[in-house]
Amino acid sequence: MNKISICAVFILSLAVQAAPRRIVVASGECKDAELSSQARAFHEALKARQDQEVMSPAAFSERLFPASSGSFEDLQRQLDAAQDQFYEARYAKAEQAINDVLKEISRLPVGDARWQLYANAQLLHALNYRSMNKVKESDAAFRNVLRLKPQHKLDPALYAPSFRQAFEKVRGELAKTRKVKLTVQSTLPASEVYLDGLKVGQTPVTLGVIAGTYDITVVKGSAASFPRQIHAQGPDTPVLVDLAFEGSVSASPFPCLASSDKADERTLSHAVRLGGALGVEEVIVMRLERPSSGPNWFAATVLNVEGGQKVREGGFKTQGLDAPPDALSALVDFVTTGKAPANLVVPNTNGNAPWVKQPSADAPAISTGPDFSAPHRLPEGSIATTAPAPQPHSGPASGLRVASYVALGAGAAALGGAGVVRLMAQKDLNDLEKRLNASGRINASDQEALGLRNSLASKGNLLTGLLVGSGAALTTGAVLFFMSPSNGPPPVTPGVSAGPGGASLSLSGSF
């Protein structure tokens, strides 16, 4: 074997052995000091291990909740300094300063104060650009104010007649411009909708807006959506925000998913979606279990993001804010390798861990339906999965056995739908790649390419919902099957596969 081959084998072995990208999140009462302290200690212990790639709390916060570097007062002072530069005819420096302020304004909490600061910055931009003979850019700054507040008035004491005349001209042009119907809905009813920081209504709301890009935030009480941009175009632009999910996520004092039942399927589904939004491969959900009697437990659930499966779960006894160092180290070993001293970490095997609530025989199956608004990556490659096959048995089927067949069948059907959506998305992706320019970007004027991009995003959201829903249904079906009496008919085994050549769905066995 020559040197090149040896190097190639070595590099390949490193790639195979590389640890997955992970994020550690707490689950439960997010302001619980004990939960945050122990979750942070686990994160630090995991990060200290060699070759472990773990997203930091700071990176988590920056991705989902980017905060301004200054307060409203700080940014107002920066805008005043930019205005001084304008009056001193230092137009280039004023332009840069205003752009810097606008970038930070977009990170401020939404509301009237943010909008007023934004409008003042845009009007100063317009003044500065006109002094630079950049009329087109000046009019664009006018439009950024008038497209959301067409009734906005300029103070005659602050602005010259020629400037006000130009402002009124743009107002008249926008009044004649065809509008895009923007419809915003939320999974939490009567949520407040903000565009560029300005409140425009409550969900469900339908607006006529000028085509373009807007910052949108949806808020209800303490729940706020992830900041995002929307591209209003075409005759209609529908937007659905899953505020029940996004509003449950917080970054302080430690990345957390708020939940009253810390181990329920909905929370785990939210954790998988969160991992998809952040681009990690595994999510480690940390929680404190406080039973009515006996010791408290600090438990970790490892979830695979792409497949939505639970990889492993384990925990140890704990008391107080600080976790026992040896038990914490053992839990890190268990999370990364699946092995740990039995006297320190208790693995959850078939729901038999001390912190797991044992379901009653007649408890209804837990199922989480697909959520089509999940922000997620579009998985690459084919999808192929088969539900676990139960052991053979004979006799009449019990009620639980029939319920397991229904759940397995629903999971298989959802996976079959995911395979079809994946193939449709691949076709859109192939068409889009043909329309990219030399730099690998979409031309702003290429409406067909923009449509393909939006179609891909929609299919990615749909695919995520189908995968999460199918995973929950298959898991529920398998659990119900093993819980049901052994005197039943032969097992039913659903199988689904999808790839570039097509998709197939099979369901074998008898009822």
Mean pLDDT across the stretch 247-268?
86
Distance set, CA 204 to CA 179, 186, 228, 234, 245 (Å): 19, 7, 18, 20, 17
How far apart (Å, rounded) are the C-alpha atoms in residues 445 and 482?
57
Q: What is the mean pLDDT of residues 79-103?
A: 97
pLDDT at 260: 78
User: If phi over 0 gives left and psi between -120 and 50 gives alpha, with beta otherwise, what is residue 509?
Assistant: left
Q: How does pLDDT run across 163-176, given as a tens digit for each residue?
A: 999 999 999 999 99
Q: How confident is the model at residue 364 (pLDDT cuts 50, 70, 90)?
A: very low
Provide the CB-side half-sphere exposure for 119 (13 A, CA): 20
- Write the CB contacts of 194 (distance below 8 Å, at least 6 apart in sequence): 110, 111, 200, 216, 217, 218, 219
pLDDT of 454 > 90? The answer is: no
Arch. (CATH architecture) of 72-176: Alpha Horseshoe (1.25)
Q: Which residue in the block uniquely carries the two structure tokens 């509301």? A: 111
Residue 6 pLDDT class (50, 70, 90 cuts): very low
Q: Which class is domain 19-53+251-354?
A: alpha beta
Q: In CATH, what number does 180-245 get?
A: 2.60.40.1120
Distance CA 348, CA 305 (A): 20
Nearest-angstrom CA–CA distance, 281 and 276: 8
The pLDDT score that the predictor gives to residue 200 is 96
pLDDT of 54 over the 50 cut: yes
Q: Is the pLDDT of residue 506 over 80?
A: no
Report pLDDT digits (tens) over 461-501.
776 776 767 677 667 766 556 655 544 444 444 444 444 44
H and E: helices and strands count for the chain: 13, 18
Beta strands 212-220 and 192-195, pairing class: antiparallel
Q: Give yes or no for a contact between 249 and 265, defined as CB atoms under 8 angstroms apart.
A: no
Q: Hey, where are the domains in the chain?
A: 19-53+251-354, 72-176, 180-245, 383-508
C-alpha 281/C-alpha 271 separation (Å) is 12
CB atoms within 10 A of CB 217: 22
**Percentage, residues of the chain above pLDDT 70:** 71
Query: Tell me, what's the pLDDT at 485?
Result: 54
Residue 457 has pLDDT above 90, yes or no: no
Contact (Cβ atoms closer than 8 angstroms) between residue 301 and residue 399: no
In this structure, the chain runs to a length of 511
**CB neighbourhood size of 292 (10 A):** 4
Q: Quote the pLDDT of residue 477.
A: 65
pLDDT score for 462:
73
Which whole number is the average pLDDT over 30-34? 92
State whether residue 312 is helix, strand or coil: strand
Per-residue model confidence as pLDDT tens digits over 266-297: 899 999 999 999 999 999 999 998 888 888 89
Residue 90 has pLDDT above 60, yes or no: yes
